[in-house]
Structure 1
């Protein structure tokens, strides 16, 4: 029979890098964590951590032991989730993250509908444009936009987004409308987080360097500037679709529009897809499509 004593404390220290932080995480005293680690090292006859007054560092042997323990603990957690999923009513905590603007406009309303449907859920939605580490920070799901770079994750395409180049009728009346990509050199192109705009020319991707009197990392400030006739913008559909529908902005250079890119849900490949995550994926996919 395997002796589990000290394993949870060991994993907590290995992941937090501190006996005190591990104790806080487990809800026990630092002294208890220290005793359990000492007993575990004695039982294994190996040193798991190097300790100084300022730092705790895992040893090579400790790293090997941690890798195996983590797999075992993950397996136990998956087993518990699999059993709980026999009851298909989503319950418990659900952690997800999404980009700020897209999360506010598209994800949060759908998520709130999901909570109304399944009130036993406790949901934590983090809106950030930073690429969070899902495994290290305990997220079940992340929404990502555009091209995916992390091949270690499972991905499901939920929807697509279209980038529009547009300007106000007032700007176009004063400056004319660009007819070709080279015409953009003669226009006030308002810059976002990138110094170029994406297009497609003769079936191939094409980037145009742009310049203008305003540079902002806020899409909404660019929309407002375009609405007031200051210049031309390129932004995804969820920023400008209402403006285009109302006629406050006019779509330009449609023949050169880049292909739509993806709206993705990603999740760790080694994690059992629980009922609550599976149902949320289906709900988001239906809502966004």
Structure 2
């Protein structure tokens, strides 16, 4: 079985055929002439034929060398075209770009930002996948994931995780609901109220912290549901108290549609990361996406300047 010729050896032969001497060929390839000589000798061994006739000043191609010459030239041209194609891709601000995140981050944080990005770079084909399960950018063929670091590991050695900011989750209710029900001055008062929570939050109790004080508050009257946007809608409609992230509640607080319940007590706190497969160097559109999205996500997170407090984790990803 004959040995397949090495591309490096073929390129050295092509440079020699074009330049006419080992010294000139070395200048073309920006290497030492001894390397060119070694590669041409190795190519002759691979091909099983003498390819050049060596003299003190110049080289001449044998019949086999002349027949090989156009094939080596085509290899050089193909590799140059491959480099050009990759360079264009690296510099292009066009083509597909797929991002995944959770429903609440998509609605309240990332969706509006991607709308602005699409306006700025209309040639980008942006695709936002909304999925509350933990997605693997490599296995799921995603360019970026915006993740809440709550109950799941954020990345492994195949991925890069860039801190986007911090989020917190607290208790909120509408002024209408609070006006119709007993006042809430301490966590134990929650027992007399309707809580819009998941079943797991009911079973474990609400985890509340105030400074160094930490407690699990049992819940009695409640409404089970595991759909985060529906929790927001029901709370706005005055059907009970629910847990919301700060970035979800902020616009409703500004409009007076929601009120923070037990404002001195906090429920959960966690970082949010922009995760992507390790690529170096990054294509221009990927770097532009990072530079555009990261500061805007941070600005959309009210807790982005806070320091990490409690190390508690919630049981689900929203």
* TM-score, length of structure 2 as denominator length: 0.58
| Cα distance in structure 2, aligned partners of 1:80 and 1:103 | 36
- DSSP 3-state at the match of 1:129: coil
CA contact (8 A) 2:207 2:268 kept: no
> How many residue pairs end up in the alignment?
214
- DSSP 3-state at the match of 2:142: coil
1:93 aligns with 2:96: yes
Alignment-derived partner of residue 159 in structure 1:
165
1:247 aligns with 2:256: yes
1:168 aligns with 2:174: yes
CA contact (8 A) 2:137 2:143 kept: yes
Note the residue ranges of structure 2 that are not aligned, 5 or more in a row.
8-82, 300-318
Alignment-derived partner of residue 105 in structure 1:
108
Alignment-derived partner of residue 226 in structure 2:
217
CA deviation map 1:187-226 (0-9, x unaligned):
2211136414343233365443434331122233223322
Q: CA deviation at 1:93?
A: 1.9
CA deviation map 1:140-182 (0-9, x unaligned):
1101113351440321121322323122223323323322222
Note the residue ranges of structure 1 that are not aligned, 5 or more in a row.
5-78
Bigger Rg, structure 1 or 2: 2
CA deviation map 1:99-149 (0-9, x unaligned):
123213321221121122122222222111122221122111101113351
Distance of aligned partners of 1:213 and 1:257 in 2 relative to their CA distance in 1, 3 Å threshold: closer
Distance of aligned partners of 1:115 and 1:268 in 2 relative to their CA distance in 1, 3 Å threshold: same
Q: CA deviation at 1:275?
A: 2.2
- DSSP 3-state at the match of 2:224: coil
Distance of aligned partners of 1:2 and 1:165 in 2 relative to their CA distance in 1, 3 Å threshold: farther
| Cα distance in structure 2, aligned partners of 1:283 and 1:106 | 13
CA deviation map 1:35-67 (0-9, x unaligned):
xxxxxxxxxxxxxxxxxxxxxxxxxxxxxxxxx
CA contact (8 A) 1:167 1:249 kept: yes
Residue 183 of structure 1, aligned match among 185, 189, 207: 189
CA contact (8 A) 1:197 1:210 kept: yes
Distance of aligned partners of 1:96 and 1:168 in 2 relative to their CA distance in 1, 3 Å threshold: closer
Alignment-derived partner of residue 72 in structure 1:
none
Cα RMSD (Å): 2.9
Alignment-derived partner of residue 238 in structure 1:
247
Q: CA deviation at 1:96?
A: 1.4
- DSSP 3-state at the match of 2:217: strand
Residue 143 of structure 2, aligned match among 135, 140, 145: 140
| Cα distance in structure 1, aligned partners of 2:281 and 2:84 | 10
- DSSP 3-state at the match of 2:275: strand
- DSSP 3-state at the match of 1:256: coil
Distance of aligned partners of 1:123 and 1:247 in 2 relative to their CA distance in 1, 3 Å threshold: closer
CA contact (8 A) 2:196 2:224 kept: yes
Residue 83 of structure 1, aligned match among 76, 81, 87: 87
- Runs of 4+ in structure 1 deviating by more than 6 angstroms, as ranges, are 79-82
CA contact (8 A) 1:167 1:229 kept: yes
